[in-house]
Structure 1
Amino acid sequence: MPQPSKDLDPTRSPQDWFGAHLRHWRMVRRKTQRELAFEVHVSASTIAKIEKAERPCDLPLARSLDNALDTGGILAWLCLRTGADADKASGDVDNPAVAPVLPGLPGFPGAMLPGTESTTDDGSHVDRRTFLGATGAAALLAGTPLSHLIKPAEPSRLPSVVRPEDIEQVEAAATVLAGWDHHYGGGGIVRTAAEAQLRWASALLELPCPDPLRAGLFAAAARLGMVVGAADFDAHAHQDARRVFAFAAACAEEAGQWHLRAKVYSYRARQAVWLGDCDSGLTYAELGLAHESRLTPTERAMLHTAKARALAKAGELQAALRAVGQADEAFAQARPGEDPPWMAYYDAAQHAGDTGHALYDLIAVGHRPDTAADRLRTAVEGHTEAYVRSRTFSRSKLASLTMATGDPHEAATIGNQALDEVVKLQSRRATDDMRHLARLAAVHRTTPEAAMLRDRIKETIKT
C-alpha cells in the first residue's frame, strides 16, 4: 500500500528549501530518484530523504548532484546557504564568507519553480506557489553573485580544419554586430560580444585552411575586425581600436580585398581625427584612396569625406571644401547595388551628416554656418531607426551649431531631442557631444530653455 504523499514546504527550514530545489531540478531533467542516485553513487532512499528534508546534503554530494542535473552549480551554492555546510562556507573559493540564508532572506534560489503543484515519483508534492511566495524574486536576487554560475562553462572547441560554414558564421556575426553597433552604440554588451567573436575568428586563422577558402577566411576576419574596432572606438577604448583596426587592415590586404581595406582605413582616419591627430587622419584617408579606381563611388565619397574632416579639423578651409566637393561628386555617381553589404549604411543621410560634420569644423575659420546646418538637418531627417547613433551625432552637432550661432531656444529643443536618444545608447562619443553642447548652453544661462538643457545634461550624463 503506497505511503501518503508528503507536502514539501520550503518555508519550514533551510533543509526543506534545499530539498524542494533538488526535487524541482530532478523533475526538470526527468530523472527518478533511483536514476539520480545511481549517477551520484548513493542510495535512492538518500535522495528521497534529502528531498523531504529528513537528512542534510553535504557539499561534495551537492556538487555531484549539480553535475548530474546540469544546474550550473546552483545546488552547491544553495548547500552553502542553507546551513548544511555553513561551517565550510568561508573557505570555499567560489563563495567567500557566506552566511547561511533562510527562505525569505536575500539569496539566489537557483530556479523559479512553476506556480502549480507537481506530484513526484515517490508520491509527494511541493506547492510551487508557496515556494515562490516564500522566496520572492526581489529579495532572492538582492546582493547575489550570479556570475559564478557560468564560470564552469566549457569553451567551444575549434574545428580541426576551416570549413565554409565557419566562414559564414564569422560573416553573419559581423553583420549582426554591425547592426547592434549602429542602433545601440559600441559599448556595453555590443563590445563584449564583438570581442568574443573576434577571438574565435582570429583563432580560425591559425588552423589549417584549404587554399580555396583562405581569401574568404581572411576577408571575414577583416570585416569582423572592422566592426570590433568601431565598437572599441565608440567606447573610447582607443588603444584597442588601433590594434584591431591594424589587424583588420592586415587581413583585408591578405585577402586582396580592396573594398574592405578602404572601409578599415576610413575608420582609422575618423578615429585619428576624433583624437585630434589630423595628419594621421589625412594619411589614413589617402591610404584608403590608393587605387581608388578599384573602389565604388560610394566608397570614394566615404574616403573623401574622411579627408575633408581631417582637413577641416586642421583648419585648412579651402582644402577641406575641395574634399567636400570631391565627396559630393563621387556620391552623385553612387550605385548602391554595386556596393559591398557593409557599405549599406552610407546612404544620403550618412553622406549629409559626415560632410556636415566637416563643414561644422570650418565655422571656426570663417565658413558660413548655414551650409553645415542644412546638411546636418538633412541627416537627422533621413536617418532611420536602424542608425540611431548616426542620427544622434548629427542632431547633437546641429544643436551645438544652433546654440553657438543661432537661436538658443531652438537649440535647446534640438538638444533635448538628442539627449533623449543619447541616454538609450552605449556610446562615449555621443556623451562627449552632449558635454560639448552643455558648455555652449552655459553661455546662454539667462535663457531658461538653454539653462534647463545644460542642467539636464549634467544630471543625466554623470561620467
Structure 2
Amino acid sequence: MERRNFLAATSTAALAASPLLQLISTTSTAATPSLVRSADVEQIRTAATTLRSWDNLYGGGGVVRETALAQLRWAAGLLNTTCPASLKVDLFTAVSRLATVVGASAFDAFAHEDARRLFVFATSCAEEVDYWPLRAISYNLLSRQATWREDPDAGLTLAELGLARADRLSPAERSMLHNARARALAKMGHAQQALAAIGQSDDSFASLVPADEGPWMAYYDSAQHHGDTGHALFDLALAGHPPQEALGRLQTAVDGHGDGFARSRTFSRTKLASLQMATGDPAQAVDDGRIALTEASQLRSLRANHELGELSRLAHRHRTVPDIRDLREQITSTVAL
C-alpha cells in the first residue's frame, strides 16, 4: 500500500465532495470567518481536547458524535479561508487533531466509512504541513480500525507507514504505533513478531517523559500502555500463548484508568474477564464481567458492546453454571439496547 496512492482518493480536496462532508454540512453551525485568527485555532484545539474527554467518558455515540460533527464542519471550513502564513501550521495541525477525535467517535459508533475518511483527512492535513506527530496519530487510528475490521495485514502496513521517520516521533508516539503493529501481528498469528513489537513498545515507553509529549498524547500513560499491549497479548493467549502476562497487563490497565477514561477501563476489564473465562478462572470472570457490564451500560459505545459479546461467546462453554448463564443473559439484554 503506497502512501500517496492510499491518500490520493481522500485528500483534503477530494474529501470536500465526499458523502462524509455532505453529512457534516447538514448540521447548522456558525458562519465561517473571512480571516483565520489565533483565537480560532485555539478554539479548535479546545474543542478537540473537550470532545476527546467526552468520548473517553461517554463513548462515541449519542451527543458526542453529533457535537463533534458540527465542530469539525466549522473547523474544516477554515482551511478554505484566508490564513496568515504564520498560522498555517497551527491551523492544519489543529484541524488534523480534531478530525482524529471525530473519527475516533465515528469508529466507536461503527460508522466505519466515515471514520476511515476522517482519519485519512487528518493524515492529509498533517502532511500538508509536514507535521509528523499528528501524521502518526492518524495512521495509528487507521491501523487499529483496519485490524478491528479483520484486516490485520492492512493494519500492519498502516502502522509501519506511521513509523516512517520514527526519529521524528516522541517515545509515546513510537510506543503507540508499535502497539498497533503488535495487535495486527497477533491477529495474523505471528506470535514472535508480535512479542518483539511489544518489546519495542515497552522500550519506547520506558523513555517517556510526560512533560515532553504533545497534548494529543496526554492519554498515553501507564494504564493505556498496559491496556494496549495487554490487548495484543490477549489474542496470543487465545491462540495458546501463556496468558499470565496478558492477565497482568490488563489488570494493571483496569487498576490504573481513572473515571475520565471509563471506556478504556471497560475495554480492558471486559478483555480481562474474557481471558479469565477462556483460561480456567470462570468465577473471577463472572465478578469482573458483572462490573464491566455495569460500566458498559453507562456508555454509548458499540465497541464496548462488541467486547461484551465476545465475553458471552467465550462463556458459552460454561453455560450450565447458573452465575454464568445469568451473566450471559444480562449481556444479551445490554447489547440489544
TM-score surpassing 0.5?
Answer: yes
In 1, distance between residues paired with 2:74 and 2:31?
10
SS in 1 for 2:164: coil
1:167 aligned residue (21, 36, 41): 41
TM-score by length of structure 1 reads 0.66
Q: 1:225 Cα deviation (Å)?
A: 0.3
Q: Is the 8 A contact 1:305 1:324 kept in 2?
A: yes
Partner of 1:449 in structure 2?
Answer: 323
Q: Is the 8 A contact 1:272 1:278 kept in 2?
A: yes
Partner of 2:88 in structure 1?
Answer: 214
Q: 1:269 Cα deviation (Å)?
A: 0.7
Q: 1:154 Cα deviation (Å)?
A: 7.4
Residue 324 of structure 1 aligns with an amino acid whose one-letter code is I
1:111-126, aligned counterparts within 5 Å? none
Q: Is the 8 A contact 1:408 1:447 kept in 2?
A: no
SS in 1 for 2:236: helix
1:262 aligns with 2:158: no
Change (3 A) 1:350 1:155: closer
SS in 2 for 1:368: coil
Q: 1:155 Cα deviation (Å)?
A: 4.6
In 2, distance between residues paired with 1:252 and 1:350?
24
1:460 aligned residue (331, 334, 337): 334
Partner of 1:402 in structure 2?
Answer: 276
Q: Which ranges in structure 2 are unaligned for 5 or more consecutive residues?
A: 1-26
In 2, distance between residues paired with 1:301 and 1:311?
15
Change (3 A) 1:460 1:448: same
1:345 aligned residue (214, 219, 225): 219
In 2, distance between residues paired with 1:317 and 1:414?
27
Q: Is the 8 A contact 2:30 2:74 kept in 1?
A: no
In 2, distance between residues paired with 1:157 and 1:383?
39
Partner of 2:31 in structure 1?
Answer: 157
Q: Is the 8 A contact 1:216 1:255 kept in 2?
A: no
2:109 aligned residue (219, 232, 235): 235
1:173-188, aligned counterparts within 5 Å? 173-188=47-62
Identity percentage of aligned residues: 55
Which structure would you say has the larger Rg? 1
2:195 aligned residue (300, 314, 321): 321
Structure with greater helix percent = 2
Change (3 A) 1:323 1:419: same
Partner of 2:210 in structure 1?
Answer: 336
Q: Deviations over 1:318-350 (max 9, x none)?
A: 110100111111111111111001101110010
2:181 aligned residue (307, 331, 339): 307
In 1, distance between residues paired with 2:315 and 2:156?
32
Q: Is the 8 A contact 1:409 1:447 kept in 2?
A: no
SS in 2 for 1:353: helix
Q: Deviations over 1:185-239 (max 9, x none)?
A: 1111101111111111111111111111111110110010010110011110000
Q: Is the 8 A contact 1:317 1:365 kept in 2?
A: no
SS in 1 for 2:336: coil
1:423-438, aligned counterparts within 5 Å? 423-438=297-312
Partner of 2:63 in structure 1?
Answer: 189
Partner of 2:152 in structure 1?
Answer: 278
Partner of 1:387 in structure 2?
Answer: 261
Q: Which ranges in structure 1 are unaligned for 5 or more consecutive residues?
A: 1-152
1:288 aligned residue (162, 183, 194): 162
1:239-250, aligned counterparts within 5 Å? 239-250=113-124
Q: Is the 8 A contact 1:229 1:240 kept in 2?
A: yes
Change (3 A) 1:368 1:155: closer
Q: 1:414 Cα deviation (Å)?
A: 0.4
1:359 aligned residue (220, 233, 236): 233
Partner of 1:118 in structure 2?
Answer: none
RMSD: 1.2
In 1, distance between residues paired with 2:187 and 2:227?
16
In 1, distance between residues paired with 2:66 and 2:280?
41
Q: 1:460 Cα deviation (Å)?
A: 2.1
Partner of 2:14 in structure 1?
Answer: none
In 2, distance between residues paired with 1:255 and 1:424?
39
Q: 1:313 Cα deviation (Å)?
A: 0.5
In 2, distance between residues paired with 1:369 and 1:455?
27
SS in 2 for 1:205: helix
In 1, distance between residues paired with 2:99 and 2:28?
25
In 2, distance between residues paired with 1:401 and 1:355?
14
In 1, distance between residues paired with 2:28 and 2:201?
50
Q: 1:352 Cα deviation (Å)?
A: 0.4
Q: 1:364 Cα deviation (Å)?
A: 3.4
Residue 107 of structure 2 aligns with an amino acid whose one-letter code is F
1:420 aligns with 2:294: yes
Residue 269 of structure 2 aligns with an amino acid whose one-letter code is R
In 1, distance between residues paired with 2:28 and 2:208?
48
Change (3 A) 1:430 1:155: closer
SS in 1 for 2:318: coil
TM-score by length of structure 2 reads 0.90
Residue 249 of structure 2 aligns with an amino acid whose one-letter code is R
Please list every run of at least 4 consecutive aligned residues from structure 1 whose deviation after the TM superposition is greater than 4 angstroms: none
In 2, distance between residues paired with 1:266 and 1:237?
18
In 1, distance between residues paired with 2:281 and 2:147?
29
